[in-house]
A and B are shown apart, each in its own frame.
Chain A
Amino acid sequence: MPAIKLDKVVKNYKVGKVEVPALRGISFSIEKGEFTAIAGPSGSGKSTLLNLFGCLDKPTSGSVFVQDSNILRLSSDELADVRNRHIGFIFQSFNLIPVLTAFENVEFPLILLKEHSAAQRKDRVMAMLKSVGIDELAGRKPAEMSGGQQQRVAIARALVKNPDYVLADEPTANLDTKTGHEILDLMQKINEAISTTFIFSTHDPKVMEMARRLIKIRDGQIEDDSRQ
């Protein structure tokens, strides 16, 4: 069973009275355990694609299957549940909650999940912070950490609930080259160690080189889909 399957997906946005096509009948699937980059110029449809993968938006036509569920048929609360249980998010600008510590930020999705005791959450969060190398910063708030450290917290937050796949929207765009590579290395290691599916969008050719599958899109259509 693929992690995600798109079937003839069309997505149009309304700008005033004009319908602007963002995706024009895309079909493909991403298997579990893949480390996939989605590349393309601005306005090519990358973000629209990630929004659909993340159950944050619904297609105009066609189907998006996440864990075999067609997201078109899910209610707002059911979509929130799918996001909470199955999907991890890593954002370009980290998007940590500024009033919470690193520990609390990572704990946040587990609290929403309501499946773990406080002690279980603590063990899991500390193990996850350790695996991304920032367990010593558990008590710090985002403003007290560097960009690289914040992105590690964001990765820990995305992974702490053992999601089926992680969506990363230009995860290195706000980091210097060295830190960006460290973050990608980390994501790659996690992918190899626990087979978490990673899907990330990028502009950066060096980042594209690290992906094992590269999907290039342009004008809302797949230009190239290659495995390396």
Chain B
Amino acid sequence: MIIKLAYRNLFRNFRRTALTLSAIAFGIMMLIIFDSLLSGVDTDSYKKIIDLETGHVRIFARGYRDDMDEYPLDRSIKEPQAVIAVLAKDPDIEGVAPRVSFRIMLSDGMGELPAVGYGVDPAKDPSVFTLKNSIDGSFLAGSEEAMLLGDGLMDDFGLKEGDYLTLLTRTKYDTYQALDLKIKGVIRTENPKFDWSSAVIPLGLAQRALDMGAEVTEIDIRLRDPGKLEEVRARLEKQFPHLEISTWLDYIEDVKAIGAAKRQGRLFLFSSLFLIALIGIANTILLSAFERIKEIGMMAALGMKRRQIMALFVTEGAMIGFLGSFIGAMLASAAILLYLAPVGVDFSGLNFKELGDFGYRMTNKMYGEWDPPMVALTFFMGIIISAVTSIYPAWVASRMQPTEALRKN
């Protein structure tokens, strides 16, 4: 009876109920969409890290990772070909790419900008990384004297494809080296680490320019089944005890740090939702109680107990929460599945580059990710928060004196 009464009471003042429902639905929808975009950025960032920066598994010389921000060329892998030959026989490994990473300064004769240089093997690199697919112009070939430059740097220098730029660096033995290279292609990966601060040259050219012989700073590996990450790492550690084996998970601390901030953001949003519910539902239930003061008195006169009157109003609040949360969850799911996931939101107007590197591997677009457990959690939180915020006005209603009903006659 309480559920039937509560349900019918919802439609007594349809406009007010609709207004509260809309507020709850909007809050729930925004919460789900916000979380969806952040989850989407997480997933997108992880994918870009794997596809462009780390592969699934990375091999370095021992000690390299301790100072990897310094790009220590003297801590390189001495005989990469022997390692690569072993890796090539591993059935779990899909691709192997040797790379040399090094610190550079780029100069157009007028100004200089610091950047990171990558020497990549044009033949092997695409078996691990997707860099080749993100180039405007042509990818590198052999050991040609050419470079690929991030589009952010292209903008900074005001260059176009085919122009020349000087790459300044230091060799393994700390002597100066300068290369005057033609820009063969522009890197547009949507990964700011690459697009804003990298120059890519052929591995052979890098080894020659850096006096490294056949050495490389890293060997990156793509697995056939990413689920075998730890299994492969353990195996490689046994096979190459003199080398240091790591996985992509060791390189996502910055993204994880944002994840922690995201959890706080979610808490803030839940608090905002609570506030919306508190103001909207508490107001609706309280107004409804005052409008129905005679009815409450009459129901008390008929023998309805205080807790039953309270239950009636809390049920009304929970029903508003249920309907609002349901509508919000449906609208958010539709927005994510039909637009945010396949099309994405374009933030190019915001110019993330001005914000600097903040961890996420995103430049212009955010894609939503539909996360059913999160949608369900938000939906149930909407109902619970609505019910909880109804408790006080319901208590007020239940404490009204039944004599009011008779006295008002």
| Interface membership of B235, Cβ < 8 A | no
Which residues on the B side are within 8 Å of A89 (C-beta)?
A: 298, 301-302
> Are A91's CB and B406's CB within 8 A?
yes
> Are A76's CB and B5's CB within 8 A?
no
| Interface membership of A44, Cβ < 8 A | no
- How many chain A residues sit at the interface, stated as a range, is 20 to 34
> Are A95's CB and B303's CB within 8 A?
no
> Are A99's CB and B298's CB within 8 A?
no
Q: Which of A47, A98, A112 contacts B302 (CB 8 A)?
A: A112
Render B371-409 as a binary contact track against A, CB cut-off 8 A, 1 for contact: 000000000000000000000000000000111011101
- In the docked arrangement, what's the CA distance between A169 and B406, Å? 7
Query: Contacts A95-B295, A169-B406 hold; do A108 and B302 have CB atoms under 8 A apart?
Result: yes
Nearest CB in chain B: distance from A202 CB, A: 12
> Which residues from 93 to 118 on chain A have a C-beta closer than 8 Å to any C-beta of chain B?
93, 95, 97-100, 104, 108-109, 111-113
Q: Which of A48-56, A59-67, A132-140 contacts B (4 or more CB under 8 A)?
A: A48-56
> Are B302's CB and A56's CB within 8 A?
no
> Which residues from 156 to 202 on chain A have a C-beta closer than 8 Å to any C-beta of chain B?
157, 169-170, 173
> Which residues from 287 to 329 on chain B have a C-beta closer than 8 Å to any C-beta of chain A?
294-295, 297-306, 308
- How many chain B residues sit at the interface, stated as a range, is 20 to 34
| Interface membership of B1, Cβ < 8 A | yes
Nearest CB in chain B: distance from A76 CB, A: 6
- In the docked arrangement, what's the CA distance between A83 and B405, Å? 14
| Interface membership of B12, Cβ < 8 A | yes
| Interface membership of B8, Cβ < 8 A | yes
| Interface membership of A123, Cβ < 8 A | no
Nearest CB in chain A: distance from B277 CB, A: 24
Which residues on the A side are within 8 Å of B302 (C-beta)?
A: 83-84, 89, 108-109, 112, 157
Kindly report which residue of chain B lies nearest to residue A83, judged by CB atoms. B303
Kindly report which residue of chain B lies nearest to residue A77, judged by CB atoms. B305
Nearest CB in chain A: distance from B8 CB, A: 4
| Interface membership of A219, Cβ < 8 A | no
> Are B409's CB and A92's CB within 8 A?
yes
| Interface membership of B283, Cβ < 8 A | no
| Interface membership of B138, Cβ < 8 A | no
> Are B305's CB and A91's CB within 8 A?
no
Q: Which of B1, B12, B306, B409 contacts A111 (CB 8 A)?
A: B1
- In the docked arrangement, what's the CA distance between A98 and B306, Å? 20
Which residues on the B side are within 8 Å of A169 (C-beta)?
A: 406, 409
Nearest CB in chain A: distance from B330 CB, A: 27
| Interface membership of A85, Cβ < 8 A | yes
Nearest CB in chain A: distance from B338 CB, A: 37
Which residues on the B side are within 8 Å of A54 (C-beta)?
A: 301, 406
| Interface membership of A20, Cβ < 8 A | no
Which residues on the A side are within 8 Å of B407 (C-beta)?
A: 47, 51
Q: Which of B1, B405, B406 contacts A108 (CB 8 A)?
A: B1
Kindly report which residue of chain A lies nearest to residue B309, judged by CB atoms. A80
| Interface membership of B9, Cβ < 8 A | yes
- In the docked arrangement, what's the CA distance between A99 and B302, Å? 17
Q: Which of A47, A91, A112, A113 contacts B298 (CB 8 A)?
A: A91
Kindly report which residue of chain A lies nearest to residue B407, judged by CB atoms. A47
> Are B303's CB and A84's CB within 8 A?
yes
> Are A56's CB and B406's CB within 8 A?
yes
Q: Which of A56, A57, A104, A112 has the most CB of B within 10 A?
A: A56
Kindly report which residue of chain A lies nearest to residue B308, judged by CB atoms. A112
Q: Which of B12, B294, B301, B402 has the most CB of A within 10 A?
A: B301
> Are A83's CB and B5's CB within 8 A?
no
Kindly report which residue of chain B lies nearest to residue A170, judged by CB atoms. B409
Kindly report which residue of chain B lies nearest to residue A88, judged by CB atoms. B302
- In the docked arrangement, what's the CA distance between A112 and B305, Å? 9
- In the docked arrangement, what's the CA distance between A169 and B405, Å? 11
Kindly report which residue of chain B lies nearest to residue A157, judged by CB atoms. B302
> Are B9's CB and A99's CB within 8 A?
yes
Kindly report which residue of chain A lies nearest to residue B302, judged by CB atoms. A109
> Are A91's CB and B405's CB within 8 A?
yes
- In the docked arrangement, what's the CA distance between A44 and B9, Å? 37
- In the docked arrangement, what's the CA distance between A108 and B312, Å? 14
Which residues on the A side are within 8 Å of B295 (C-beta)?
A: 95, 97-98
- In the docked arrangement, what's the CA distance between A228 and B8, Å? 47
Which residues on the A side are within 8 Å of B301 (C-beta)?
A: 54, 56, 83, 89
Kindly report which residue of chain A lies nearest to residue B11, judged by CB atoms. A99
> Are B9's CB and A113's CB within 8 A?
no
Nearest CB in chain B: distance from A24 CB, A: 19
- In the docked arrangement, what's the CA distance between A95 and B304, Å? 15
- In the docked arrangement, what's the CA distance between A56 and B302, Å? 10
Q: Which of A84, A95, A100, A113 contacts B8 (CB 8 A)?
A: A100
> Are B406's CB and A113's CB within 8 A?
no
Query: Contacts A97-B5, A99-B9, A100-B8 hold; do A91 and B304 have CB atoms under 8 A apart?
Result: no
Interface residues of B (CB under 8 A from A): 1, 4-5, 8-9, 11-12, 294-295, 297-306, 308, 401-403, 405-407, 409
Closest 7 CB pairs of A and B: A84-B303, A99-B8, A92-B409, A95-B298, A83-B303, A80-B305, A111-B1
Listed A/B pairs (18) with beta-carbon separation below 8 Å: A47-B407, A51-B406, A56-B301, A56-B403, A57-B401, A77-B305, A81-B303, A83-B301, A83-B302, A98-B12, A99-B11, A108-B302, A109-B303, A111-B1, A112-B302, A112-B303, A113-B303, A170-B409
